[in-house]
Amino acid sequence: MLIHSYLKNGIVYVPTVVRLRTGAYRDVDPVAVVRVANTEELGHAFLDTIARGNAVVPPPPKDNWPPPVLLKYAGARTWSAFARGTSVWKIEEENGIYQIAAYRNHPDGYWVPDPEQKIDFPPGSRVEVVIDRMIAILQDAARQEA
């Protein structure tokens, strides 16, 4: 299971993540858009997104790849405009073991996992504990942005 969260200007975007048959992941609708200060609503957004899981879908046609879904929610015209000033994290679960990891900007203009900013949870950790920690990370990052 993989969940992305994007923090920009005090707003958290939590898209549904699907897995393409090629093995890549893609953000799709529905997307939760929540003010970072709203702890309760953020918790619900993460739980709802996790409940949807990562459906496996065919990739879009190469000649008709849709624009990134987050642009319409953030009111951004381009991916680079959205990415500028955005912090990105993921929650990943494999075999009952959760991890939260941050992404950092790559010099070529895309995000890559940041090995220095990750939290591994012990086996058997409850998803609510992971979500609470993710919310605390996002809220702390928003305070540092301000």
> Could you report the per-residue pLDDT of 12-25, keeping only the tens digit for each?
999 999 999 999 99
Domain ranges of the chain: 2-145
Q: How confident is residue 59, by pLDDT bands cut at 50, 70 and 90?
A: very high
Nearest alpha carbon to residue 100 among 125, 134, 123: 134
Q: Convert 122-141 to b/e letters by CB count within 10 Å (16 or more is b).
A: eeeeebeebbebbbebbbee
Peptide bond between residue 61 and the one before it cis (omega within 30 degrees of 0): no
pTM of the predicted model, to two decimals? Answer: 0.95
Region 134-140 average pLDDT: 98
Output the average pLDDT for the chain.
Answer: 95
Q: Domain 2-145 is classified in which CATH homologous superfamily? A: NMB0488-like (3.40.1590.10)
- Determine the pLDDT at residue 10: 97
Query: Per residue in 68-95, pLDDT tens?
Result: 999 999 999 999 899 999 999 999 999 9
Rounded to a whole number of angstroms, the CA Rg of the chain reads 15
